A and B are shown apart, each in its own frame.
Chain A
């Protein structure tokens, strides 16, 4: 690997045994992760899994209590201001001044990151072009649609050329085409060597990342590329829904000796010969079942197999 390529994929964020409590509640119970330049890393987890806490710790909004987070080799506890200069942040809730225009919002951001004059104007043109906002630059932010606002947020975050981009639930409130735009922008950023880290509770969104960590109750329960995690789950997945789940579960477990896992109102069976299993099940269970579906395992199955309950 040549030097430039190594520079692009360098480890930029490391979390070591990070713990955090809010009063009595333990929000993070020892999280260790690392993220590199050039990758889109998703922190996937349901509400309350600790991903937003981790996001706040990485963004230096909340001081670290226990453990260590380094960004580009700098300890967030020791030098938060230097870390802040290296990260771009897009919050879940909007951070635009609605009474200002797109241009003015970005100028404000520039001043906060030490950019001014010609350099600010150059960077502003650059991010507005990258986010395709050039024709909206004179508009007040309160007049923009949700998708456009999000793009302005991204433009703000990119302005100071951060090494690490942190996004908290970036696609909340976006329609499908705006989501697609967002992901194109994220991909372009990661291609240029930025470590893009986002939190999400949407499985299909995490599926688009290069690598992800699934979080539940303050710990990382699985980490890896989406395909690798799915592969661990085997080739196929049969999902059975029925009115009397208990009875059906007994049949499957005791009579057919299948590895059944119950998740919500469904029974799930991991199987490498799912296609041949379906007629067998249909025959054995008859009209006791409402549906039998066969599919390839998804990230939800990873979550269910590790936690024993459904991803919600």
Chain B
């Protein structure tokens, strides 16, 4: 989005409306818009609209400095506090201490938080009225979803990557060739989280409602993904509690992304020898499937719900 630069317009006072009055007459050769042709906008224009909405997310995010800070500082604090506090009482796979174990979880938390706060803005957009002008534009609904997800996941991705690079720079995690697939995995996770956020945010008319769902649904999803504590084994001598918890955590699609993220950040440790660690192909497929399903449901929801259009 071109930011504000003081521009001197060559057009002076008296000609105020003349240009547009000419253009309204039906033979304006420079009008590529649907206003003239009457055709629905083609795909490329929908993409341009989505791109603009994504850019808007980006600009808004960095203009609200407290959002930037809270999205990074909170997970960082979590990481340092829990990592240091539980250091002595935890030994993970490959003799990892908790600070090391919790690092992938912290990165997932950054993605989750940022994606959630990016999608929560749908509710604000609606309350502040911006959304109504988007909903009556001739581009339809998919650029709205696409723009939000693109903008939100780009913000989440950049923050997670910056955090990861910082951690590598300070030597808390090794720098290896698996950084490239890590970046891809993070992008996929960000898209999935944004899709999930849209599913929650779209039918809502208040941010309080979103917070309730976040605390009851999204945070437990993160907690039960192996981000904070290892997924219990469900072997012969497991207790009922371990069976239940282990079962839930195995059913959580985020668990698979976490396993793969952990493996990519610490490639030298053989996690399969220590507990739940499905093959990379399974982890990638589940994560990809999770993203696709979340976005598909969000899309169905946005197309179908006319009721939400009228929430102002």
List A residues at the B interface (Cβ < 8 Å). 4, 7-8, 56, 59-63, 72, 74, 79, 81-82, 84-87, 89, 91, 93-101, 103-104, 107-116, 119, 122, 125-130, 132, 134, 137-139, 156, 158, 160-163, 185, 188-189, 191-194
11 contacts between A and B (CB under 8 A): A8-B25, A86-B38, A95-B129, A111-B53, A114-B48, A126-B19, A129-B19, A130-B19, A161-B28, A185-B17, A189-B20
A59, A116, A130, A163: which contacts B16 (Cβ < 8 A)?
A130
Minimal beta-carbon separation of B263 from chain A (angstroms): 40
Residues B127-151 near A (CB distance < 8 A): 128-130, 132-140, 143
A61 to B135, CA, bound (A): 7
Query: Which residues from chain B contact A63 at a C-beta distance below 8 Å?
Result: 306
B30, B34, B64: which contacts A113 (Cβ < 8 A)?
B34
Is residue B60 within 8 Å, beta carbon to beta carbon, of the partner chain?
yes
Query: Which residues from chain B contact A163 at a C-beta distance below 8 Å?
Result: 24, 35
Query: Which residues from chain A contact B35 at a C-beta distance below 8 Å?
Result: 85-86, 113, 160-163
A55 to B96, CA, bound (A): 64
Query: Which residues from chain B contact A128 at a C-beta distance below 8 Å?
Result: 9
A129 to B32, CA, bound (A): 22
Query: Which residues from chain A contact B49 at a C-beta distance below 8 Å?
Result: 111-112, 114
In the complex where A95-B132, A97-B128 touch, is A85 in contact with B2 (Cβ < 8 A)?
Answer: no
Determine whether the beta carbon of B33 is less than 8 Å from that of A84.
no
Determine whether the beta carbon of A82 is less than 8 Å from that of B129.
no
Residue count of chain B within 8 Å CB distance of chain A: 62
A110 to B49, CA, bound (A): 8
| B15, B125, B133, B140: residue with the most chain A Cβ atoms closer than 10 Å | B133
Determine whether the beta carbon of B25 is less than 8 Å from that of A7.
yes
Q: Which 9 A-B pairs have the closest CB atoms?
A: A138-B4, A192-B21, A85-B34, A111-B52, A112-B137, A84-B138, A95-B133, A188-B17, A114-B45
Closest to B64 in A: A99
Is residue B168 within 8 Å, beta carbon to beta carbon, of the partner chain?
no
List B residues at the A interface (Cβ < 8 Å). 1-7, 9, 11, 15-17, 19-26, 28, 30-41, 45, 48-49, 51-53, 56, 59-60, 63-64, 125, 128-130, 132-140, 143, 306, 309-310, 312
A97 to B126, CA, bound (A): 10
A7 to B28, CA, bound (A): 14
Determine whether the beta carbon of B133 is less than 8 Å from that of A113.
no
Determine whether the beta carbon of A81 is less than 8 Å from that of B41.
yes
Query: Which residues from chain B contact A194 at a C-beta distance below 8 Å?
Result: 24
Closest to B143 in A: A112
Closest to A139 in B: B4
Determine whether the beta carbon of A129 is less than 8 Å from that of B309.
no
A84, A122, A127, A191: which contacts B137 (Cβ < 8 A)?
A84
